[in-house]
Homo-oligomer: A and B are copies of this chain.
Amino acid sequence: MGKQANKNDAITSRDENFAQWYTDVCKKAEMMDYSSVKGFIDYLPYSYAIWEEIQAYLNKRFKENGSSNVYLPMIIPSSLFNKEKDHIEGFAPETLVATIGGGEKLADPLIIRPTSEVLFSDMYKRLVSSYRDLPKIYNQWCSVVRWEKTTRPFLRGAEFLWQEGHCLFETEEEAWNNAKNMLKVYDDLGKDLLAIPFVKGIKTDHEKFAGAVATYTIEALMHDGKALQSGTTHYLGQGFANAFGIHFLGRNNKLETPHQTSWGVSTRLIGAIIMVHGDDNGLVLPPRVAPIQVVIVPIRQDAEGILDKCRDIQTTLEKMGIRTKLDDSDHTPGWKFAEWEMKGVPLRLELGPRDLASGTICLTKRVNGEKKVASIEEIEKVIPSLLDEIHNDMYQKALAFLNAHIKEAHDIEELKAILNEGGYAKVNWCGDEECELKIKELTSGGTARCILEGEDPFAPTCPVCGKKARKVVYFAKAY
């Protein structure tokens, strides 16, 4: 075998060095490759195929929500970028800027898009003049560039893939509803596809998006107890519309200003999948996004009839739309088991001479090693139901882990202890940004991840200032 299958190099243990375990898995499962430019990665087929499954799911859901896909330029003129004050302050420090085009210096330097609120606002100014032109519910799939100092594959990079929805509504209510509905779509993506439960709520003002009135978020909990912001939706109010001069003739024949939203998830979700589900043997992929859902490993593949039967089974499964790989390479079954465990294939199907004689196969779940012997005749029933079972196993396992790592912090010492151990500390908060920042300082970097809708304080006062508690904030160390 070539470079990419160094089966014998063990990966670092997950509990020994989680960061090293993570990059080992990314590399050895052939998810990515470090490019020649620091901070940029190559998305290899094994991760890109996961992204395509996410795209297919979201495109369907977006369409149900009235969204259409578009594509806008990848560059933003500096002059345009400077129009919304909060936005520019948030993004300017990490931009990549083009200054030369066709050999000549550009009069107005071009910023490689870090996000596209500016471009959509600029376009909407041209396209919208009447209430009849609303709503505009557009989404774009693209890459964005943020010149980050510290990068990690899929989690934080100089360039990443994402989708960004940008919408314009006649009324404030429609816009708030859109921001909330899209958050539900993202939460469903976790439940339905990624087998990842999220803590879902609203950001504090300090943590919200640069230029938003309010930011909603889904937060996943990684195996090391750190949170990962996995998707956000924003109610942008009328700030961008005013800055860009987007107005429309309303039903009352008066000039009005629309209400705006934006929402996005990125290839960061691939990092979440790896860090929520993976183990010391490598990746563990949720079946609905796994590029290979079932791997067939023949035992004594030289024995008569074995490979033929394996091919029959492969054909049957592929006809059912199940992504199936038959590993008929000349490696030993043991080698193959380790290889496909590393790659996190949800279900392994073994067939040897004894199975062939008895008309059975042996099935092993990657997530927990559970084995099941099934009759070959019933694979069309057994395998889809096992894949669903695996999805549920994985979701429940992740949910149990999440729930075990959400704890109430009654005072600062408890808060510190919870964050040191890993997971979320629920904190009663007065609502002052000062107290929020004090907590960040005292916990060496614990941040307010989100506030859950409708959750009441479990104690009367803020543990920092002693004033009346108004909200419960989930604090955690985060990626």
Contact = CB atoms under 8 A, between A and B. Distances in A.
A127 B36 contact: no
Contacts of A40: 73, 75
A355 interface: no
A127 B33 contact: yes
A100 B98 CA distance: 7
A69 B48 contact: yes
A381 interface: no
A241 B287 CA distance: 38
Nearest to A145: B74
A406 interface: no
Nearest to A103: B93
A96 B110 contact: yes
Given A3-B128, A49-B69, A100 B96 contact: yes
Given A3-B133, A77-B36, A94-B102, A71 B143 contact: yes
Contacts of A42: 70-73, 119, 123
- Majority secondary structure of chain A interface residues (helix, strand, loop or mixed): mixed
B36 A80 contact: yes
B161 A2 contact: no
Please list the 5 inter-chain residue pairs (A to B) with the smallest Cβ-Cβ separation, ordered nearest first: A2-B133, A45-B68, A102-B147, A2-B130, A43-B71
Q: For A3, A33, A101, A147, which residue has the most chain B Cβ atoms within 10 angstroms?
A: A101
Q: For A44, A73, A109, which residue has the most chain B Cβ atoms within 10 angstroms?
A: A73
Interface string A48-85: 11011000000000000000111111110100100000
A132 interface: yes
25 contacts: A2-B130, A2-B248, A3-B129, A4-B133, A33-B126, A35-B73, A36-B77, A36-B80, A37-B73, A37-B77, A41-B73, A43-B71, A45-B70, A48-B71, A49-B69, A74-B74, A74-B112, A93-B102, A94-B102, A95-B101, A96-B98, A96-B100, A96-B102, A97-B99, A98-B98
Contact of A35 (B43, B49, B119, B248): B119
Interface residues of A, number: 62
Contacts of A95: 100-102
A2 B132 contact: yes
Contacts of A73: 35, 37, 40-42, 158-159
A354 interface: no
A68 to B, nearest CB: 4
Contacts of A101: 95-97, 147
A237 to B, nearest CB: 22
Q: For A36, A51, A129, which residue has the most chain B Cβ atoms within 10 angstroms?
A: A36
Nearest to A94: B102
Interface in A24-43: 33, 35-37, 40-43
Contact of A1 (B41, B51, B130): B130
